């Protein structure tokens, strides 16, 4: 794996993952690494297995074979709450905000495992600094916000736990183009602050333009991987990306 520039101790490593839903073989021998502080894109079309990969990383779905290592610790059989406690966080597909709860309460849920009051105040300050609008709207119910504002809440909520690895599931989905750009600017900003990220996207150009490396997933297999710059040039990408 050294060929593609991964640093010595990856923060996340999926090795030989095979995941099934009943009899259906979803992920087939998937190997993915994210180095500390690295920004990796996972590309793929509909039903390519992107969401299942994220669920496997989070422990919502258990692989039949293979291992998930996070920060040097094997977490394959650990529960989701343990993994979040170790420093994973996710901005889920379609944001999945807690609609009937206020913006403030949504952010509190992001910091659910962080019980230390002082650290929590700092986290709020940090998130409000990144998204001043959220401070303004903190008492408003999350379900009543616009799509762009909701995206900010979802990002802020994930950042509340001071993640070491931030997973992003289709950050561009359902957003107006201007908001997609803004969204990717924020991703870059968070990454520049030293947080490792795995960004799952259909929007290959946008995702690769900010990534260090990328993987292309097609019908449950990794069909292409490499440096983002190389992938952007790759003739096969389009083909693989469209899933044959």
Partner 1 sequence: MDTFIQLTVDALTLGSIYALIALGYTLVYGVLKLLNFAHGDVFMVGSFIGFGVLQLLGGTSNPSVPIWLLLVLVTLAAMAGCAVLGVVIERFAYRPLRDAPRIAPLISALGVSFFLANSMQLLFGAEPRNYDTFSLSNGALYLKGLDIGNVRVSLLRIITISSAFVLMIVLWFLVNRTRTGKAMRATSFDREAAAMMGIDIDRVIVFTFVLGSALAGAAGVLFALRVPTTVSIGFIAGLKGFTAAVIGGIGSIQGAMAGGLILGFAESYTQGYISTKWSDLVVFSILIAFMIFRPQGLLGRAEIRKV
Residues making contact with partner 1 (CB under 8 A)? 58, 60, 79-81, 84-85, 90, 92, 96-101, 105, 108-110, 112-113, 115, 157, 161
Phi, psi (deg, nearest 5) at residue 67: -130, 150
Nearer to partner 1, 20 or 98 (CB): 98
Nearer to partner 1, 117 or 177 (CB): 117
Three-state DSSP state, 184: helix
* Nearest-approach distance from CB 106 to partner 1, in angstroms: 8
- Measure the CA–CA gap between 214 and 230, rounded to whole angstroms: 9
Nearer to partner 1, 111 or 240 (CB): 111
* Nearest-approach distance from CB 11 to partner 1, in angstroms: 17
Nearer to partner 1, 16 or 147 (CB): 147
- Measure the CA–CA gap between 11 and 146, rounded to whole angstroms: 34
Closest CA to 107 of 149, 68, 75, 153: 153
- Which two tokens mark 121? 């105040």
Phi, psi (deg, nearest 5) at residue 167: -100, 135
* Nearest-approach distance from CB 33 to partner 1, in angstroms: 22
* Nearest-approach distance from CB 120 to partner 1, in angstroms: 11
* Nearest-approach distance from CB 182 to partner 1, in angstroms: 23
- Which two tokens mark 65? 């074979």
CA distances from residue 25 to 18, 42, 52, 154 in whole angstroms, order as listed: 7, 19, 11, 31
């Amino acid at each position: 794996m050294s060929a593609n520039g991964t640093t010595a101790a990856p923060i996340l490593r999926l090795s030989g993952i095979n995941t099934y839903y009943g009899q259906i073989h979803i992920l087939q021998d998937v190997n993915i690494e994210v180095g500390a502080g690295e920004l990796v894109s996972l590309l793929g079309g509909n039903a390519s297995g992107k969401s299942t990969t994220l669920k496997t990383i989070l422990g919502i779905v258990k692989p039949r074979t293979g291992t998930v290592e996070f920060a040097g610790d094997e977490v394959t059989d650990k529960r989701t709450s343990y993994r979040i406690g170790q420093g994973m966080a996710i901005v889920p597909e379609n944001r999945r905000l807690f609609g009937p709860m206020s913006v403030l309460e949504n952010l509190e849920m992001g910091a659910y495992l962080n019980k230390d009051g002082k650290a929590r105040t700092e986290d709020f300050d940090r998130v409000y600094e990144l998204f001043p609008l959220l401070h303004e709207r903190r008492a408003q119910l999350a379900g009543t916000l616009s799509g762009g504002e909701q995206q900010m809440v979802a990002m802020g909520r994930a950042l509340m736990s001071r993640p070491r690895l931030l997973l992003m599931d289709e950050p561009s989905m359902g957003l107006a183009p201007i908001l997609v750009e803004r969204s990717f600017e924020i991703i870059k900003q968070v990454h520049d602050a030293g947080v490792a990220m795995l960004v799952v996207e259909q929007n290959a150009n946008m995702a690769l333009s900010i990534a260090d490396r990328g993987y292309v997933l097609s019908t449950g297999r990794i069909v292409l991987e490499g440096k983002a710059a190389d992938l952007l040039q790759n003739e096969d990408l389009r083909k693989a990306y469209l899933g044959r």
